Amino acid sequence: MSKIQTPNPVRGTQDIYGEMEERFAHVVATFEKIRRLYAFKGLHIPVIEPTAVFARSLGETTDVVSKEMYSFEDRGGDSITLRPEFTAGIARAFLTNGWQQYAPMKLATHGPLFRYERPQKGRYRQFHQIDAEIIGASEPAADVELLVMADQLLQELGIADGVTLNLNTLGDTQSRDKWHSALVEYFGDHRDVLSEDSQRRLETNPLRILDSKDPDDRGISYAAPRIDDYLSSEAQDFFAAVTAGLDAAGVVWERNAQLVRGLDYYRHTAFEFITDRLGAQGTVLGGGRYDGLIEQLGGKPTAAVGWAAGIERLAMLVGAPVLAGPDAVVIPLGDAAESAATGIIAGLRRAGIACDMAYKGNMKKRMTKADDSGAAYAIIIGDNELAAGKAAVKNLANGEQTEIALNKLPEFLARA
């Protein structure tokens, strides 16, 4: 009989366990704590959406839509896509659920996303992000709140050192349109020295040429027209209000005039928190204002701003979190004690005491398990203890041992 071969995981996916799972969970827990501090409501949206949601929002000519989306036809003949990002799905939910009446809305979510691209350090085909959005607020104060929130998240994760907030403005519609025209004319005059990708972008989203990594493109971009030359007074005031708000909140930032967003629905603020600790993939959190997106999806003009961050990348940067072990490990010695211990440990857990049971091996092995778990106490129950209605409770830090009545265990451990 031939041996059954165990299938390999799909390329670009991973099984998250052990220390990395602890880091991953730490990132999510810290994000949940921060979003509550800032009064953001939690949200969960489907992993699958109609393909049109992303084709309309991301643009059919973008690499994400044309090359990277996992799209398929379901049994009903509809084109379905595994979500490659959160913002479009959140905007769709805002419209289909009639949430306009609740605007402005502060929303936060996290979960898996999918893109078919070359796996590399910190980047997977199934990856995970945390995401925060404010929909229905046109004031620069919304941009400031999200940026201060992101800064506090990185501070609390302990990874803010060496991370720099890069900030730029894309202007309002009038400013952006004038800048767009100037860039098309400028890069058109230098088409013959642009990379193949940038020649294509010249026809689709010329702003993206500014953040090209190609050395020739970077040389041409250095002298390209700058947004500052086309900003309306309103756009200047908006950006000034954002930077003043960051200064007031003590958030350090740097102006990066090369930082852009290629799609037409982006306005005003664009930002990235960048580190040099992840090699070429230096952005750990990024976002911007996308006032034109909801209108592009069929809704009324609605201001919106948001950011997202890769959980895997953040988890790579955080140190291994020091997780407390259980409060106690129960060690039953003998069949009668093991049977009684099942009820005892259930009662302790219902009382909010985190505990585990060591029911295999000799006494030495069981005590080793208790020590290795990081527990504060070992609760030893043998025939004599059971007959007396007591347990031997050993402090694993100092070795002291005390007899405690079984019905007093929850009270003792809660106090300890």
List pLDDT tens digits, range 50-102: 999 998 877 665 667 667 899 999 999 999 999 999 999 999 999 999 999 99
Same domain, 309 and 345: no
Same domain for 342 and 395, yes or no, is yes
Task: Give the tens place of pLDDT for each residue, 150-160.
Answer: 999 999 999 99
Confidence of residue 1 (pLDDT cuts 50, 70, 90): low
pLDDT of residue 359: 79
Question: In whole numbers, what is the pLDDT of the chain averaged over residues?
Answer: 91
Asked whether the predicted pLDDT for residue 408 surpasses 90, the reply is yes
Please check the confidence at residue 145 and state whether its pLDDT lies above 90: yes
Q: Is residue 137 part of a domain?
A: yes
> How sure is the predictor about 258, in pLDDT bands with cuts at 50, 70 and 90?
confident
Residue 209 is assigned to a structural domain of this protein: no
Residues 238 and 363 in one domain: no
pLDDT at 16: 92
Residue 384 pLDDT greater than 90, yes or no:
no
Give pLDDT, residue 202.
Answer: 86
Say if residue 112 is exposed, middle or buried (CB neighbours under 10 Å; 0-12, 13-18, 19+).
middle
Distance of alpha carbon 230 from the chain centroid: 34
Q: Give mean pLDDT, residues 99-107.
A: 97
Q: Tell me the residue range of the domain where 371 lies.
A: 328-415
CA distances from 254 to 33, 170, 257, 274, 287 (A): 27, 15, 10, 11, 15
For residues 29-55, one letter each, b for 16 or more C-beta atoms within 10 angstroms of the residue's C-beta and e for the rest, the string is: ebbeebbeebebeebebeebbebebbb
Query: What is the helix (H) or strand (E) element at residue 132, kind and residue range?
Result: strand 126-135
Whether 4 shows a pLDDT value over 70: the answer reads yes
User: Between the ranges 52-56, 122-126, 128-132, 206-210, where is the mean pLDDT highest?
Assistant: 128-132
In the three-class reduction of DSSP (H, G, I as helix; E, B as strand; rest coil), residue 248 is classed as helix
Q: For residue 89, give the CATH number of its domain.
A: 3.30.930.10
Q: What is the pLDDT of residue 279?
A: 64
Q: What is the pTM of this model?
A: 0.88
CATH number of the domain at 409, please: 3.40.50.800
Phi, psi of 277 (to 5 degrees): -90, 0
Domain-ending residue, one of 317, 343, 371: 317
pLDDT for the residue numbered 310: 94
Residue 322 has pLDDT above 80, yes or no: no
355 & 332 share domain: yes
Do 293 and 151 sit in the same domain of this protein?
Answer: yes
- Can you give the pLDDT at residue 305? 98
Domain boundary among 283, 317, 351: 317
**What pLDDT shows up at residue 122?**
65
Q: How many domains does the chain have?
A: 2
Domain termination residue (choose one: 286, 317, 348): 317
pLDDT digit string, tens, across residues 19-41: 899 999 999 999 999 999 999 99
Is 336 in the same domain as 313? no
Give the mean model confidence (pLDDT) for residues 389-407: 93
Residue 297 has which token pair? 């999806």
Q: Is residue 11 part of a domain?
A: no
pLDDT reading at 281 higher than 60? no
Q: What one-character-per-residue DSSP string does 24-45 give?
A: HHHHHHHHHHHHHHTTPEE---
Predicted confidence at residue 390, as pLDDT, reads 93
User: With 90 as the cut, is the pLDDT of residue 214 above it?
Assistant: no
